[in-house]
Amino acid sequence: MRHYELTFIVDPVLSNEEIQVVRQTYEDQVKKLGCKIVHVDDIGLKQLAYPINKRNSGIYYSIEFEAENGEAIAPLELAMRRDERIMRFLSIALDKFGVKYNEDKRNGLIRKTQRQRRKTKSPELVAPIAAKIPELLEEAIEPIVDEDVIL
Amino acid sequence: MASQEDIKFLSNPNIGKQRKKYCRFKKFGIRHIDYKDPDFLAQFLNEQGKILPRRITGNSLKYQRKVSEAIKRARHLGMLPFVTDLLK
């Protein structure tokens, strides 16, 4: 028995029901090919890093399933290639560490990595200081103005 | 007058010393690299979205291969860019 993972991007222009239909179609097809579905990960709407088929976002789904051998992959890929509702797909075989990782992820043992950004001060931290700047400036200028140094 | 022994530590001896690089996957026991986690994979990219070499990340050969494979899968799925500017 091997675990496989089929990730695909559904066109976001479709209505919610149509998207559910797409998902259901592939779930049924995986089952019909004699595979056992382990988990369907609904990743949801995500911004794409580059446009695909002139779309800038996509709805991600990831089906993890268990199969005796890889025979089920070819018909699934063929169906996805023919399907216009699917923008991209990727099917991979998981090794034992991948299976363990997905299981841990489902049980919430793996936390999401935080996006690392360039070291900039967050607006919440900067705001109170920024609000004070005019006051501070005035205070600094006041003695100068009093002494008529500017003139 | 400061003796010879005092002068020895007037400058910080740790400045300019290179910290030893290590493979984070080996060190923290990470065995699987998820291609669906672009934020994690972005740590191994430079600003143009190119994969950083081992001599900079310190990854072992085994995990560098896995990282590059995961990045390429993520690129295919539109989670990471092939080429870009100002990724970080």
A93-102: string of b/e by CB count within 10 Å (b at 16+)? ebeeebbebb
Q: Indicate yes or no: CB of B37 within 8 angstroms of CB of A113.
A: yes
ipTM over 0.90: no
Chain A within 8 Å of B85 (Cβ-Cβ)? no
Look at A77-86, B7-16, B26-35, B59-68 and tell me which has the smallest mean pLDDT. B7-16
Residues from chain A that touch B77, judged by Cβ atoms under 8 A, are 7, 9, 60, 88, 90
Decide if pLDDT at B5 tops 80: no
Calculate mean pLDDT across residues B36-54: 93
Low-confidence ranges of chain A (pLDDT < 50): none
Residue to substitute from B26, B31, B32, B33, interface A, most A β-carbons within 10 A:
B32
Indicate the residue of B32, B38, B78 with minimum beta-carbon distance to A9. Answer: B78
- CATH superfamily of domain region A2-106: Ribosomal protein S6/Translation elongation factor EF1B (3.30.70.60)
pTM: 0.76
A2 HSE (CA, 13 A, CB side) = 13
Question: Taking CB atoms and an 8 Å cutoff, what residues of chain B touch A48?
Answer: 78-79
Q: Which of A46, A53, A61 to mutate to test the interface with B (most CBs of B within 10 A)?
A: A46
What's the rounded Cα separation, in Å, for the pair B35 and B66?
10
CA A51/CA A66 separation, integer angstroms:
32
Chain B residue closest in CA terms to A8: B77
B49 to chain A: closest CA residue: A49
Q: What is the pLDDT of residue A108?
A: 86
> Which chain A positions have a beta carbon within 8 Å of B67's beta carbon?
none
Residue-wise pLDDT tens digits, A29-56: 999 999 999 999 999 999 999 999 999 9
CA distance A61 to chain B (A): 11
Arithmetic mean of pLDDT, B52-64: 94
pLDDT of residue A70: 87
Record: fold of B21-88: 30s Ribosomal Protein S18 (4.10.640)
State how far the alpha carbon of A107 is from the alpha carbons of A3, A43, A100, A102, in Å: 18, 16, 11, 9
Domain ranges of chain A: 2-106
Instruction: Residue A83: name the closest of A136, A19, A133 by CA.
Output: A19
